């Protein structure tokens, strides 16, 4: 079974004016990453940022579209940040839980 980090709520195709009130959903593959390592965390951040850019691209030009895309990215980044931190914490916990320490040794 594939593991992914699913972040935020669902997105419908909306006009630029309505996108500001809806946060899109992104899914980022994490199974190949060691989130307990700095390298794995950096790669996850890069993947999340790329997914955010794609999810918040409305298309079109003009200040309204640019403002909506900027707001979408900011809101999605904020929501994703919470999920990313939870995923990293869980990976660290798993790593430490896997350590077999004998206090009598």
pLDDT in tens, the chain (105 residues): 344 444 333 333 334 444 445 678 888 988 899 998 999 999 999 999 999 999 998 888 889 889 989 999 999 999 889 889 988 998 888 776 655 666 665
pLDDT of the residue at 101:
60
Which 3 state secondary structure label does DSSP give 39? helix
Per-residue model confidence (pLDDT) at position 25: 85
Distance of CA 91 to the CA centre of its chain: 15
Q: For residues 55-64, b (16+ Cβ closer than 10 Å) or e, as one string?
A: bbeeeeeeee
| Distance (Å, whole) CA 74 – CA 101 | 43
Helix (H, G, I), strand (E, B) or coil at 83: helix
pLDDT value at position 11?
32
């Amino acid at each position: 079974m594939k593991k992914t980090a699913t972040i935020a709520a669902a997105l419908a195709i909306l006009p630029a004016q309505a996108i500001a009130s809806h946060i899109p959903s992104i899914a980022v593959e994490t199974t190949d990453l060691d989130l307990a390592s700095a390298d794995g965390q950096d790669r996850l951040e890069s993947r999340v940022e790329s997914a955010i850019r794609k999810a918040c691209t409305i298309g079109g030009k003009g200040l309204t579209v640019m403002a909506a895309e900027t707001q979408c990215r900011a809101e999605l980044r904020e929501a994703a940040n919470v999920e990313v931190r939870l995923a990293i914490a869980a990976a660290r916990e798993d790593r430490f839980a896997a350590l077999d320490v004998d206090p009598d040794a």
